[in-house]
Structure 1
């Protein structure tokens, strides 16, 4: 695997400056189950980039089945899927073959190998002094400008909700459209919250005390 492409990305985050929402996603070149990939190649599309602790583990297997079944819904949002673990490329191949043979599900999105932890460390998926990624289950939602828009990290014992990750992508896209803010539990097609007008005229003109800052809109 090549090192991070520092010509196309900001300096690799340090332990004191972990990757944060609003940062540009560090570029990298790597081998994957779908051939060579680089982060810069996803520019212009949304991307869900997620790490898993290890191949041939029960929780990860359940997640990958769910991601594979939902890949078409992500594609409808113009969003690709990209996975990563420290396991080798050949381990990835054997694992996805085992998944297909037992469950009839083909995992077609790329799974990156990261045996040297270069990518995982750059994204804060593993600690700087870690020798494996066994306790990491991270998700990065990256927009078409290659800006990190959401970060979620789960403990190794708990499986992720693929439906919630799909909802986050849809909610970010709805917010970016400028029509309003997705409220708690928002689902595609649901009402948004209007953008408040922070002026005294708006505050005093509102029919009720809360309406100047809390009002539904369909956009």
Structure 2
């Protein structure tokens, strides 16, 4: 069965570069940025792993744990990490899953036969602390992910979890937000004492505290 937004992220136990983990236990109340890459010792993947490592402080600030995956072995991962550190000027510390038997890749539908029958595409799953899948993105093998967008959407999800708002197109932290149509004007006066601008009855724009 295909995974959908709102589903509980399937649990699994697997070996990684940081030792064995069980996903739900390892997450321990954090958000998870779970992503796959096609193969170790490949150019685009090297830049993605490096960028994830470079952004470690940004992920930590948002209570997010990165978790990589490919169908290579732990030994291959560890050798490749040295290349990542050398070429991307970083020290990679987050775990990378060794899914040699394709069990997790199949569980999360990361194998797309029109791309490869053995290598994973560039899948992204943002999982919240309750282990619910909140966002899914899939990139082809030849295109690296946009990490600005990954951080942006985590910020947006965390903002909309805290308040009854939605984030408009191209939203970034500090920008105006939309009061959800399910919030009546009466309730909005209590929830948003700063007020709002009504563009249409269903489109009320407000500012949040910086």
Q: TM-score range by the shorter chain?
A: 0.7 to 0.9
Please give the alpha-carbon distance, in whole angstroms, between the structure 1 residues aligned to 2:23 and 2:183: 39
1:214 to 203, 207, 210: 203
3-state SS, counterpart of residue 141 of structure 1: strand
- Post-superposition CA distance 1:49-97 (Å, at most 9, x none): 0000001111111111111111110110111100000001011001111
Query: Contact (CA 8 Å) 1:55, 1:92: kept in 2 or not?
Result: yes
Query: Contact (CA 8 Å) 2:71, 2:99: kept in 1 or not?
Result: yes
Please give the alpha-carbon distance, in whole angstroms, between the structure 2 residues aligned to 1:99 and 1:65: 6
Larger strand percent:
2
3-state SS, counterpart of residue 44 of structure 1: coil
Query: Contact (CA 8 Å) 2:164, 2:183: kept in 1 or not?
Result: no
> How does the TM-score come out when normalised to structure 1?
0.83
2:108 is aligned with 1:94: no
Query: Contact (CA 8 Å) 2:50, 2:85: kept in 1 or not?
Result: no
Structure 1 residue ranges, 4+ long, deviating more than 4 angstroms after superposition: none
Look up the match of 1:170.
155
Please give the alpha-carbon distance, in whole angstroms, between the structure 1 residues aligned to 2:49 and 2:142: 15
- Post-superposition CA distance 1:136-170 (Å, at most 9, x none): 11000000000000000011111101111111111
Look up the match of 1:145.
130
Displacement, 1:218? 2.0
- Once the two structures are superposed, the pairs formed by residues 28-177 of structure 1 within 5 Å of their partners are 28-41=12-25, 42-127=27-112, 131-134=117-120, 136-177=121-162
**Gaps (5+ residues) in structure 2?**
187-196
Length, aligned pairs only: 197
Please give the alpha-carbon distance, in whole angstroms, between the structure 1 residues aligned to 2:47 and 2:119: 18
2:10 is aligned with 1:26: yes
Please give the alpha-carbon distance, in whole angstroms, between the structure 2 residues aligned to 1:59 and 1:87: 16
3-state SS, counterpart of residue 124 of structure 2: strand
Displacement, 1:211? 2.5
Query: Contact (CA 8 Å) 1:179, 1:192: kept in 2 or not?
Result: no
3-state SS, counterpart of residue 112 of structure 1: strand
Query: Contact (CA 8 Å) 2:8, 2:132: kept in 1 or not?
Result: yes
Displacement, 1:102? 3.3
Please give the alpha-carbon distance, in whole angstroms, between the structure 2 residues aligned to 1:153 and 1:62: 17
